[in-house]
Amino acid sequence: MSEFITGPGEQGLYRLAAGTLLAAFQGTTAPEWVLRELDNGLGGVTLFGFNVADPGQLSALTARLRAAGDPVVSLDEEGGDVTRLAYHVGSPYPGNAALGAVDDVELTRSVYRSIGDDLARCGVNLDMAPDADVNTADDNPVIGTRAFGSDAGLVARHTVAAVHGLQSAGVAACVKHFPGHGATRQDSHLEVPLVDASMELLHARELVPFRAAIEAGAKSVMTAHVQVPALTGNLPATLSPAALTGLLRGELGYDGVVVSDALDMKAITDAYGLAGGAVLSLAAGTDLLCLGPLPTEEDVRRIVAGIVAATRDGRLPVSRLEEAAERVARLRAWFGEPRQVPAGENVIGLTAARRAVSMTGSASPLVDPLVVEVDTPPTIAVGDVPWGFSPWLSQAEIIRVKPEAADVPGILARASGRSLVVVVKDAHRYEASQTVVSALLAARPDATVVEMGLPIWRPAGTTYLATYGAARANAQAAAELLSL
């Protein structure tokens, strides 16, 4: 029994409060405090790349967690740039931008079915995917290739395909980030982004994929820490009753589980704190609170205590916690339905990446190639996942340069008499990357440029490959095309 329980009447309330939390922890084995709190009613866990070494280790970890309680075991496995299963090597699946570029909903369904199978074999039952944002801001710092595209109809049909694919494998989809993060130019990990859209525009654009996902039976929806003045006033949507209860529950009729985006993001903690944000989010209509990777064991205890205190002073009705518990119980019952999980490898990821990659111009046969990868800082959502052409171009010399410190004359001298391939990621967002590429192309117009982010900035007059993502599968597909 937890040390927060001070009397026999408190145990049920503690379990209700703890049942709303998805905690995180460091390392590849479950700490004793997590196992103890699962026994005391903790809702579940969110796993990150630092929790995953390989499929066997992850299966053992999730089995240990299940032995301690009945947890929701979640992680972000979007494919493409955002991967936790393949955090140390890069995803074998292309992400949403590549799938949207192909625009074959059956391919998207198959990719997500394969992702779901991978997760199910490892004991994960909730995938915080797909990303249903309509990415209308080219310089969006947090969505980008995570979105299927900028057209609401395209995003909606692929979101539905992704939901069907994941859930056919017995893994719950978590469609994100409601009511839409695609029109933002700020990163909610660092601040509260603004979506300056009217309710009419929200309905015509941002909400289209979410409405479709709800009709498709999505088991959960994730909130966004975005401020939409027309809807949320000065609150982020994660804390907004108008967004979660009025719009999502009421107008859109959604009765599945609502999951918060990570509460340790500065968009929440800077203004409300962890416990304060947790209480406000639950009151607004959230059922499960993703705490993110930063909160410690002591933080988790304080959050539970804060939720319990809020029920006592009337800020949070006990009935709201009971409602959340009932929805999560329905989700757990769905997890328990019998399903067959296929064994073996699936090559659908590489197939999809090959279909997505495109070439403008024509590439000459590579001669002793020098590949220059222009470094791009990782986003918080993606993390430090490996990207680039190693090991797919075994005949090439591959170097990585920081754009601000790139020795262009030295690179050109090194590339003399050799094929030159310049690799960038989201060059449209980094002027320094554009400067390096332009300087190299001025001397070597025969060079090939490979864009592994969104293909928005395209230098004229050169052979140009667009992969629509930097996953391992994207790199392999591009390398095959260059080697033809």
Q: So which residues are the catalytic ones? A: 189, 261
For 75, the 3-state DSSP assignment is strand
Per the CB < 8 A criterion, the answer to whether 156 and 103 are in contact is no
Which whole-number Å values give the CA distances from 281 to 12, 42, 197, 318, 325, in the listed order?
21, 17, 22, 14, 15
- Residue 454's CB is within 10 A of a number of other CB atoms, namely 26
Contacts of 84 (CB under 8 A, 6+ apart): 47, 48, 49, 51, 52, 75, 76, 77
Beta strands 358-360 and 463-466, pairing class: antiparallel
For the chain, report the end-to-end CA distance as a whole number of angstroms: 64
Selection from 417, 360, 419, 430 nearest residue 393 by Cα: 419
**What residue spans of 152-258 are helical by DSSP H?**
152-168, 199-204, 207-215, 229-232, 241
Contacts of 31 (CB under 8 A, 6+ apart): 25, 297
Beta strands 397-401 and 172-178, pairing class: unpaired
